[in-house]
Amino acid sequence: MGKSTDGRPGVVAGLVRSAFLVNSVYAESGRVLGLTPQQGQLLCVLMGQPYGMTELGTVLGLAKSSLTGLVDRTAQRGLVRREPDPEDRRAIRVALTPEGTATAERFYAETCRRVQALPSGLSDPERSRLAELLGRMVLDNQVPAVFLELDESRPEHGRHLGSHRELPS
């Protein structure tokens, strides 16, 4: 688990440093569009479907007060709206507005472009193995679908597949 003999970080340091790397991509992608990284994450989550506030808090890992502030600030920009939940009239859902959908797609495309460049030094088989291992780790840990799957077979690389799955109970 520690540092390898060739000077590269071990699993723990590698994963933590990778998280910082991806967070910096979110920050840079957001900066291009005038979004905070948290607003970018919110928009990406909502690309798949509207969410109730409780579900959204669970997916994003935010306390109710932090989530309310994030949704309020993003709604003030005209990117999300609160709407009644068709299943429960007492509850509300958060959904993208048309402007929010367009901004989410631009943020998503910019983030995908930047993240795809991160493992550019890996061969195709190494990239496939990395995807396999990361995918298994994400599924084993039941990480909610906070970012839709990129369809890498499409030339424009800005298209995604609706791969949201239900939250664990």
Burial class from Cβ neighbours inside 10 Å (0-12, 13-18, 19+) for residue 85 reads: middle
What is 89-113 written as a DSSP string? EEEEEEEE-HHHHHHHHHHHHHHHH
pTM for this entry: 0.78
Q: Which domains does the chain have, with CATH numbers?
A: 12-161 (1.10.10.10)
Cβ contact 40:26 at 8 Å? yes
Cβ contact 16:26 at 8 Å? no
131 vs 9: CA distance, rounded Å: 19
For the segment 33-72, what is each residue's pLDDT rounded down to a tens digit?
A: 999 999 999 999 999 899 999 999 999 999 999 999 999 9
Average pLDDT over residues 103-125: 94
